[in-house]
Structure 1
Amino acid sequence: MKAETNFSQISPLIFDGESYDLWAVRMEAYLEALDLWEAVEEDYDVFALSDNPTVVQMKIHKEKKIKKAKTKSYLFACVSQNVFTKIMTLKSAKIIWDYLKKEYAEDERIRSMQVLNLMREFEIQRMKETKTIKQYFDKLLGIANKIQSLVQELDLKSDGLLGTQFLNSRIVEKILVTILERYEASIAVLENTNDLSKITLAEVLHALQALEQRRLMREERSMEGVYLAK
C-alpha cells in the first residue's frame, strides 16, 4: 500500500494542450500501474446494491466506485487549468479520455506521414567520426522508439520495418552496416561467434564499446609517449 501511495505521487507531466500523444502514452501507463486503466477502457457502470448484499458484493461495489472516482480525479489533476475547464463537466474517465483524444490527437494521416518521415530519417543515419558508439546507438534507438509509438497508436499491421522486431534486429542490422570502418574487426568476431538474427542490442553495444575503449586507451598512451619524448 505504501509503495502504491508513493507511486501515485509521481504523476505524468501536466497536459497543457501540446504533445498529446506523448502525454497519453505516459498517462495510460500510469493508470495501468495504479490498476485504474479499466475505468477508462471499459467505462463500466456501478449499479446500486441489491437488498441484503453480501460482504463480498459490498466490497466489490465500493472498489468499483473508488476506481472510477480515482481515475477521474487523476485525469483532472494531470491537465492544465485551461484544459480542465473544457472537461470539468464530463461525467466519467472514459468520456474525458475520449474527449481529449478527439480534441488533441493529431490527424491519423499526419501521424502516418510522421512515421514515414521517421523511417526515412532512420534509413539515412550514418555514424560520424565525432560520435561515440553509445551516441550513435542512442540516436537510432530514439528514432525507432518514436516510430514504434506512432505505429502502436495508429494500430498499423506488422510488415518488416514496422514489425515488433524493429527495435531489435533492424537496429542491429543498421548499426553493423553503417558504423565506421575501424569497428570491422569487432563485427567480424560477432559474425563468427553469434547468430546475428538473434543477437541483442546490448551485446552489440558492449562489443563495440569494448573495441572503442581499447582504441581510446591506445591513443592516450600514444599521446603520452609523444609528450614524454618532447
Structure 2
Amino acid sequence: MKLKYQGNARVKRAQLSCLRRDFELLTMKQGDSITDYFGRVMKVANDTRNYGEDMDDVKIVEKILISLTKKWNYIVYSIEEAKDINHLFVDALQSSLLIHEQKFKAGGEDEYALKVTHEESYG
C-alpha cells in the first residue's frame, strides 16, 4: 500500500511539474483570439488546481498580461496603470480585453492602437 501511494505521489509530482512548465511557456500566438488564449491558459490553470497546487487569480492575470502579443502592449499598459493588478479577477480582465478586441476588429488594429496612444498622451 505504501509503495502504491509513493508511486501516486511521484506521478502527481511529475504531472504538476509538466503543468508548471506548460504554464510558464504559454504565450498568445499571432491570430489567437482573446477567448482562445484565455481558454488555453485556464485549462492549464484548472488542471494545476486539480492536482492541489495553488493557482490564484493574481498569478493568472500577471501571466496573461505579460504573454499577450505585441499588438496588446498599449492596452496592457493602460490596464496596469488604471487598475490594481492584485485585485483584478481573471473574468474582469477577459471582459476588458474582449471589449478592446471588438474595437480592434471594428476599427482596424492600427487605427485603434494610435487612438489609445493619443488618448494616453493627452488625458
- TM-score where L is the length of structure 1: 0.43
Percent identical pairs in the alignment equals 23
* 1:153-172 pair list within 5 angstroms: 162-163=53-54, 166-172=55-61
Q: Is the 8 A contact 1:127 1:136 kept in 2?
A: yes
Counterpart among 39, 43, 50 of residue 138 in structure 1: 39
Deviation at 1:207, TM superposition (A): 1.3
When Rg is computed on C-alpha atoms for both structures, the one with the higher figure is 1
Deviation at 1:130, TM superposition (A): 2.0
The residue number in structure 2 matching 1:210 is 99
- In 2, the alpha carbon distance for the partners of 1:192 and 1:126 equals 22
The residue number in structure 2 matching 1:180 is 69
The residue number in structure 2 matching 1:115 is 16
- In 1, the alpha carbon distance for the partners of 2:65 and 2:17 equals 23
- In 2, the alpha carbon distance for the partners of 1:133 and 1:141 equals 12
Q: Is the 8 A contact 1:126 1:179 kept in 2?
A: yes
* 1:76-87 pair list within 5 angstroms: none
Q: Which has the higher contact order (CA 8 A, sep 6+)?
A: 2
Q: Which amino acid aligns with 2:16?
A: V
Deviation at 1:199, TM superposition (A): 0.7
Deviation at 1:203, TM superposition (A): 1.6
- In 2, the alpha carbon distance for the partners of 1:123 and 1:214 equals 29
Q: Is the 8 A contact 1:145 1:167 kept in 2?
A: no
Query: Is residue 2:18 matched to residue 1:129?
Result: no
2:86 is paired with a residue whose SS is coil
Runs of 4+ aligned structure 1 residues displaced above 2 Å come to none
- TM-score where L is the length of structure 2: 0.77
- In 1, the alpha carbon distance for the partners of 2:74 and 2:65 equals 11
Number of corresponding residues: 105
Deviation at 1:167, TM superposition (A): 3.6
Cα RMSD (Å): 2.1
Higher helix share: 2
Deviation at 1:150, TM superposition (A): 0.9
